[in-house]
């Protein structure tokens, strides 16, 4: 590709107001005018400060205490399974495979069999409607403490969807969303079956990157498909040993992993802090 992230380092960048990128403050304000009031530039927009309530000390103590108690009970239940008092529902290797290297260590499954299994019914719930803001869930019950489930035939209606990746609403039955999706699918297909370096670079990719660059007020941009590897694999390609990464303390795991894999020096700063002395 002709345009890469390295382009942003070639010369001082000017946004649409003629301001250098170096003048942009870390608190999100591009200049004093923007802090005092809105301006017309797309790239200059006020940064909305967030505030989070700190958990009281007794809440933190009780949380750790609770994990400690369930961990002790987990070891006790493992002992009951070992002596045959409690039935073990886990998949086990056959006797003739005992001389081979085990497929997994027993302790690796400790959390799954003793902690997660107790609350497993809260996850992986089968749905029977479109995954919109609310959906219908198939009711299920367990007779063996969540090791197996059976359906009751009933449906729980209008359950709030708290775990969807349907960010753009394409999974909903909405003609306003579906029509442009259908048109673009007919024009470009459902995939390019190639990398962008070969024959997978479409005009809509170029248009998107130009739109992102204009929105951010930079010379050019690179866009990637959504996924964990976008951050974890591309950060090491952009920075390495001898570089400095300033990382927000609440960054996503993919950003943290990418920064660590890069070998660069990492300095963590407090979330939403304006002061430079908050660097760890």
* Long-range Cβ contact pairs of 207-214 (< 8 A, separation 24 or more): 209/3, 214/42, 214/43
> Are the beta carbons of 235 and 262 closer than 8 angstroms?
yes
pLDDT of 54 higher than 90: no
pLDDT of 245 higher than 80: yes
**pLDDT level of residue 3 (50, 70, 90 thresholds):** very low
CA-wise closest residue to 47 among 70, 63, 31, 27: 27
CA distance readout (Å), 201 to 191, 195, 223, 260: 11, 7, 11, 30
User: Given this model, what pLDDT does residue 50 score?
Assistant: 52
Mean per-residue pLDDT over the chain, rounded: 78
The three-state secondary structure class of 127 is: strand
Domain boundaries, the chain: 5-36, 53-114, 227-280
| Predicted TM-score (pTM) of this structure | 0.50
Q: Read out DSSP for 174-217?
A: -HHHHHHHHHHHHHH-S--SS-TTTT---HHHHHHHHHHHHHHT
CA-wise closest residue to 224 among 260, 266, 196: 196
pLDDT of 227 higher than 80: no
**pLDDT level of residue 12 (50, 70, 90 thresholds):** very low
Tens of pLDDT along 127-148? Answer: 998 888 889 999 999 998 888 9
Distance CA 149, CA 126 (A): 11
pLDDT of 117 higher than 60: yes
- For 175, the token pair is 């003609």
Q: Which of 28-37, 90-99, 106-115, 260-269 comes out lowest in average pLDDT?
A: 28-37
- For 210, the token pair is 């130009």
Q: Which of 41-55, 69-83, 258-272 comes out lowest in average pLDDT?
A: 41-55
pLDDT of 219 higher than 90: yes
User: Given this model, what pLDDT does residue 211 score?
Assistant: 96
């Amino acid at each position: 590709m002709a345009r890469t992230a390295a382009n942003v380092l070639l010369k001082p960048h000017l946004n649409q107001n003629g301001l250098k990128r170096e003048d942009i403050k870390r608190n999100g304000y591009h200049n004093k005018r923007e802090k005092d009031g809105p301006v017309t530039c797309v790239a200059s927009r006020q940064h909305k400060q967030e505030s989070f309530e700190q958990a009281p000390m007794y809440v933190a103590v009780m949380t750790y205490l609770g994990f400690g108690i369930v961990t002790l009970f987990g070891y006790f239940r493992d002992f009951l399974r070992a002596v045959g008092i409690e039935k073990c529902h886990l998949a086990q290797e056959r006797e003739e495979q005992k001389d081979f290297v085990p497929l997994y260590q027993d302790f690796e499954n400790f959390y799954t069999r003793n902690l997660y299994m107790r609350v497993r019914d809260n996850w992986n719930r089968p749905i029977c409607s479109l995954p919109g803001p609310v959906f219908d869930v198939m009711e299920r019950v367990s007779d063996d403490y969540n090791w197996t489930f059976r359906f009751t035939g009933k449906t729980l209606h209008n359950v709030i969807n708290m775990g969807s990746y349907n960010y753009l609403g394409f999974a909903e039955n909405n003609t306003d969303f579906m029509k442009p999706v259908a048109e673009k699918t007919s024009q470009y297909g459902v995939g390019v079956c190639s990398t962008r370096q070969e024959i997978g670079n479409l005009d809509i990719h170029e248009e998107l990157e130009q739109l992102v660059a204009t929105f951010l007020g930079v010379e050019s941009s690179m866009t990637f498909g959504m996924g964990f590897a976008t951050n974890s694999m591309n950060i090491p390609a952009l920075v390495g040993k001898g570089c400095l990464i300033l990382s927000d303390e609440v960054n996503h795991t993919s950003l943290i992993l990418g920064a660590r894999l890069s070998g660069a020096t990492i300095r963590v700063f407090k979330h939403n802090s304006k002061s430079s002395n908050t660097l760890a």
